[in-house]
Amino acid sequence: MEKIYYHNKKSLENKIKTIKNQGLDKLHVVSDFDRTITRATKNGEKIPSGIALIRQGGYLSADYPERAFALFDKYHPIEINENLDYEYRYKMMTKWWEEHEKLLIESKMHKGVIDDIIEKNPKLFRDGSDKFFNFLHEKQIPLLIFSAGIGNLIKDYLKEKDKLTNNIHIIANTFVFNSEGYATGYEAKIIHTLNKSETKIENPKYQEMIAKRNNVILLGDSLGDLGMVNDLDVNCIIKIGFLNKEIESKLELYKSKFDVVIANDGSMNYVNKLLEDLSK
């Protein structure tokens, strides 16, 4: 069962009051995707990421899984070890993603892989996500989805739910495919878990959408997600963190960084109630 924790209730109440008084037309939402808008587990088992599904699915060259697993085994322990020097971790994450991008191209990553994953692996969105998407669309509140995941999958999963609406902008690792359907690389700078704070939002349409909306609700499941707003002009921000695992060891750290912590792979109910309260 989900549990809700707070950093400082009085401070949170003041932020809510500020955003409410200034109105929804001054608000936008910035969110991670995997394990934030979507669930982290199913029946107690971790839900695979898009990259994991590619790796496990037998889609690419025969040696791809072994080489991809070798990269994962080498770099993932560095990614999650917050006791290591940050600059070292950053460098290693960049190296991992660059090496994996080259490996995917060499292994003949194809658009058909995306289509097959969508068909065979329905994405489990958090309970209450439909209400979340519908509210933001109805009120025309911009939603920036900022992810180190595969942008093609994010777009197609949202299309499948009929939620890829005109208020949504996605920054993620999106494949460019050639005329034969094979990947030639990502369409922009590689995004990984530690560099979201440096990724510039260069889309003119989205910049125009948020030009006068400097109150923000941020949603994420990792400390790296806190950097998603570093490139934005922010007046008041409410930071909501989903703590999906290692609750006991990470709770105090998350409470020190996020205004609200939703533990145990919880729902979007708190977020939806907050949005409703802000609209009254």
- Residues annotated as catalytic (active site), given as ranges: 32, 34
Closest CA to 135 of 123, 127, 143: 143
Whether the Cβ atoms of residue 184 and residue 176 lie closer than 8 Å to each other? yes
Closest CA to 8 of 273, 261, 274, 265: 261
Q: What single letter denotes the amino acid at residue 33?
A: F
Rounded CA separation 72/78 (Å): 10
Interacting residues of 267 by C-beta distance below 8 A, sequence separation 6+: 2, 126, 127, 128
The H or E element containing residue 184 is: strand 183-186
The values of phi and psi at residue 256, to 5°, are -80, -20
